[in-house]
Amino acid sequence: MAESVIPPVPPVTVPVVGGGTFPVRRIFCVGRNYAAHAREMGHDPDREAPFFFTKPADALITGGADMPYPTMTSDLHHEMEQVVAIGKGGSHIAESEAMSHVWGYGCGLDMTRRDMQAEAKKLGRPWDMAKGFDKSAPISDLVPAFDIDPGKGHIELKVNGKIRQTSDLNMLIWSVPEVISYLSKLVELQPGDLIFTGTPEGVAACVKGDVLEGSLDGVGIVKTTII
């Protein structure tokens, strides 16, 4: 076998509650998936099919590690989200089969350079540098699916102990099975893929020193400090 010409990149992994690690392949994020958040961003939630963007796997921050305030922005926003971990790949997955492709769940923060995203929207440019920058995805440890219902559960984000975002997964416009089915028509899902299912209303700016602590009932806690 030909030898690697530079040292191979170690796999990105997320700790699993109770032991072990989940190797991450790709991160997909749903754009607008709560009506109240779509409205706060100036959109009509009733007329839009789900849409997706991605972050690189190594954008993840695990274990409550600090998040450096990113370069090239002065408007870093938090987006608290449910995360679905795919254990079995597939394409054109039927909604009725979608749950059998889920390994487990977590919760995470889709951190966003909002000023850069606004400019990208205005100019019709990609969102990659607004969304997929280094350390843009703090995430909780993951829990195996067992009997978790991904369609309900309180989701909340506190910043410095004060509630900034609060909602329930029953407010999702596109359910987890619908998201998996739709996404699997666009790409062949693979074991190790993560899906951030969108944020509820209440997104806002963070500054250095802020302590972000998000929780999803029955799933876990994501924590990071902006430094």
Q: Which residues bind Mn ion (CB under 5 A)?
A: 79, 110, 199
The residue among 90 and 113 lying less far from Mn ion, judged by its C-beta, is: 113
For Mn ion, the nearest residue by Cβ is 110
Residues 6+ apart with CB under 8 A from 111: 67, 70, 76, 77, 78, 79, 135, 136, 137, 138, 206
Indicate the SS3 state at residue 73: coil
The nearer residue to Mn ion, 97 or 134, going by C-beta atoms, is 134
Give the list of residues 6+ apart from residue 106 with CB closer than 8 angstroms, or none: 14, 83, 85, 139, 140, 141, 142, 143, 194, 216, 219, 220, 222
- Return the number of the residue (14 or 130) whose C-beta is nearest Mn ion: 130
Residue keyed to tokens 């430094």: 227
β-sheet bridge partners, residue 53: 29
What does the chain come to in residues? 227
Helical spans, DSSP H, in the chain? 35-40, 114-123, 128-131, 176-186
Compute the distance between CA of residue 112 and CA of residue 115 in angstroms, rounded to an integer: 9
The identity of residue 224, as a single letter, is: T
Shortest approach of Mn ion to residue 92 CB, angstroms?
A: 25
Nearer to Mn ion, 21 or 54 (CB): 54
CB of 64 to Mn ion, least distance (A): 20
C-beta of 199: minimal distance to Mn ion in Å? 5
Question: Identity (one letter) of the amino acid at 201?
Answer: E
**Least Cβ distance, residue 79 to Mn ion (angstroms):** 4
Looking at the Cβ atoms of 110 and 193, the one nearer to Mn ion is 110
Give the nearer residue to Mn ion in terms of CB position, either 79 or 156. 79
Q: How far is the CB of 31 from Mn ion (least distance, A)?
A: 7
179 by DSSP, 3-state: which? helix
Provide the minimum distance between the beta carbon of 187 and Mn ion in the complex, in angstroms, as a whole number. Answer: 18
